[in-house]
Structure 1
Amino acid sequence: MSREDGRDLTTAELEQQVRDAGLLSGDVAVAVACTAPGTGRLTSSSGTLADRAVDAGTPLYVASVTKQLVGVLAAQQVLAGRLDPEASVTALDPRLPGWAAPVRVRHLLHHTAGLPSTAVLLTAAGVAEPELTNERVVAALAALPGPGRPPGEAFAYSNLGYVVLAEVLAAVTGTALPVLARQQVFEPLGLVSAHLGAAPPGRPADLPAAVRPPATVGDGGWWIGAAELLTWLDALNRGALGAGVSELVQTPGRLDDGTPLTYGWGVTVRVDADGATCTHGGTWPGWTAKTVRRPATGTAVALLTTGGDVDAVSGSAVALHDQLVAGPSSQSSSRASSSRRPSAS
């Protein structure tokens, strides 16, 4: 991967960045992929999963990184004229309770829907979180007396909101979300390792029970290798998922009173004088992921692990991306900061 001074970013330097973040210790598996425009890609991997060596093509669970996939699927439907961001979610999916009528699709997208907390819903569902499914989430919401707070008043990151959004998309399109994702994203981009659902075929049997994620889709559910996740990020940077899709998902939301947010359509968006940087992390016990991309520079990083150090994974991915954007002059400072940078969404 060529730098501005003509010297290549080597695999050894990439691995050193990850090592400095403490991610190559113990039995943690790591797969990382990064790119900059006109320079190709660089990948690295280490460790095993279920006694098999992990590489950049090994599907790993990316947890809440799935939300950016759901955001794109929603944007595609909006731009096709099939989904109105201002529509009431109960009008689109009548299974949802009457008290959710004031909740709009945009509230779900930007985490301002005011839905009850996961803890409250789990009590109503009578199950532990690993036993949740989309159907159980919808049923439990219907059993609750009302929302956590009125929609549009405050930002409150909500996994439940993206499960509901997944169900709304399924209702609008008449297509289950895993099928919609395959048709609209995976097949067009050639993502052969990508799978949306409880787990890839054959995977549950060889995973320890302690690291088997819940079966909900929308808040999570995406399994993909680092190299193909980078293909996804690059497609978003290039606007290759449909006219206007990338621009829409990179647009931060607002509260109903107009207060601006930093969350777009399934992705955190931070804008400075040089453009937007889009990030999202995901974690579940035994899995942690982070993506970072910057459309203006065409740079992107996908970092997937079987570890649980959210701050280290986030910090390493952000520092590596900073290095790609700024060139070799940032290498030393990026390494120094990677192990102490706070986790970012």
Structure 2
Amino acid sequence: MTGPEEALRAAGLLSAGTAVALAWSTPATGPRTWCSGRLAGRPVDPATPFYVASVTKQLVGVLAAQQVGAGRLDPDVPVRSLLPRLPAWAADVGVRHLLHHTSGLPGTDRVLMAAGVGEAELTNADVLDALAALDGPEAPPGRAFAYSNVGYVVLAEALVALTATELPVLARRQVLAPLGLAGGLGPGPAGTPSGRRPPRTLGDGGWWTGAADLLRWLEALDAGRLGADVSARVRTPGRLDDGRPLTYGWGVTVHADGTLTHGGSWPGWTAKTVRHPATRTALALLTTSDDADAVSRVALALHAQLVAGASSQASSRSSSVRRPDAP
């Protein structure tokens, strides 16, 4: 793989004051990390917690998949059956609509106006109250894909209602602790720069984690450590109600070649994860940059090198196997 420093510098991500933590793995090399900069007054290391914003959606997707696998949640159930406080106009919105961003729920701007607060102050309770106060959706559910932070907040609250467990506790109990991962969902660690304090909503964001742990998360999903059924379910793309396929699964974008990606950004924080289950290659890039496009480009480019290297090694191993002489 091209040296991380070279690739990050070429992408403009090593400017003064920018903190970066990169972790990657292949079957041949195992986990590797590279870090630069300082955060909260300390040098960045693989365990330094970063806010990963919408990367949190894949965690929520896994929590939902676990409930489905356990027979406690039907993706087609109307979400209002779990959250009766939602307005009557949301009666046809199903859990799967939330998962795949086809809910048609009002966008963040409308919710913020109804809530009367700034985005950084918005809470999950504010989102539900605002939806109840609005007179209708953006569009009927199931008709079109429209990426929705509001939808994943509602999905998170549906999981809370279903399990009678607050989301940070549910995530720790069902995912983070079993995988031996630090960090978690919440307001973030003490000492986080005040200018980089993210929103208070959970589900659309809220996850704080280090690069090494985020890589372990990706590796665990590829290895089926939370259950092969869970790993398979989350990488299954959704469909519109008329059957047209989408490229979004359960909290991840599903590419045609099988690569699974998701990014997340908030002023002062940008993250990107990339993994390919077939080659067991994975990469997590956490930064305090605001250039989400650059972060995505360099993460995808570096991961493509991992895939190429893994494929080349597999080909070499295959060609080196000698067939026995015929009798």
Q: Within the alignment, does 1:296 sit opposite 2:278 as a pair? A: yes
Report the equivalent of 2:214: 229
Q: Is the 8 A contact 2:152 2:203 kept in 1?
A: yes
Q: Is the 8 A contact 2:28 2:310 kept in 1?
A: no
Report the equivalent of 1:4: none
**Equivalent runs, 1:42-121 vs 2, <5 Å:** 42-121=32-111
Deviation sequence 1:245-292 (CA, Å, 0-9, x none): 0100000001111111100000000123xxx10000000000000000
> How many angstroms apart in 1 are the aligned matches of 2:142 and 2:311?
43
Q: Is the 8 A contact 1:287 1:305 kept in 2?
A: yes
**Structure ID, larger Rg:** 2
Q: Give the TM-score of the pair, scaled to structure 1.
A: 0.88
AA matched with 1:131: E
DSSP-derived class of the 2:256 partner: strand
DSSP-derived class of the 1:315 partner: helix
Aligned Cα root-mean-square deviation (Å)? 1.5
Q: Is the 8 A contact 1:198 1:216 kept in 2?
A: no
Distance 1:230 1:329, change over 3 A: closer
Most deviating of 20-29 and 223-232: 20-29
Report the equivalent of 1:163: 153
AA matched with 1:124: A
> How many angstroms apart in 1 are the aligned matches of 2:49 and 2:279?
27
AA matched with 2:247: T
Report the equivalent of 2:245: 260
2:224 to 223, 228, 239: 239
Number of residue equivalences: 312
TM-superposed CA distance for 1:195, in Å, is: 1.3
Instruction: Give 4+ residue runs of structure 1 displaced > 6 Å after superposition.
Output: none
Give unpaired runs (5+ residues) of structure 2. Answer: 313-327
Q: Is the 8 A contact 2:273 2:284 kept in 1?
A: yes
Deviation sequence 1:157-179 (CA, Å, 0-9, x none): 00000000000000011111110
> How many angstroms apart in 1 are the aligned matches of 2:310 and 2:90?
51
DSSP-derived class of the 2:259 partner: strand
> How many angstroms apart in 1 are the aligned matches of 2:187 and 2:103?
25
TM-superposed CA distance for 1:328, in Å, is: 9.6
DSSP-derived class of the 2:33 partner: strand
Report the equivalent of 1:337: none
Most deviating of 90-99 and 172-181: 90-99
> How many angstroms apart in 2 are the aligned matches of 1:17 and 1:308?
17
> How many angstroms apart in 1 are the aligned matches of 2:188 and 2:84?
28
Report the equivalent of 2:13: 23
Deviation sequence 1:152-211 (CA, Å, 0-9, x none): 01100000000000000000111111101000111011002x2101213x2xxx333331
TM-superposed CA distance for 1:58, in Å, is: 0.3
AA matched with 1:300: A
Percentage identity across aligned positions? 67
TM-superposed CA distance for 1:22, in Å, is: 1.4
Report the equivalent of 2:205: 220
> How many angstroms apart in 2 are the aligned matches of 1:327 and 1:50?
36
Q: Give the TM-score of the pair, scaled to structure 2.
A: 0.93
TM-superposed CA distance for 1:17, in Å, is: 2.0
Distance 1:124 1:323, change over 3 A: same
Q: Is the 8 A contact 2:270 2:295 kept in 1?
A: yes
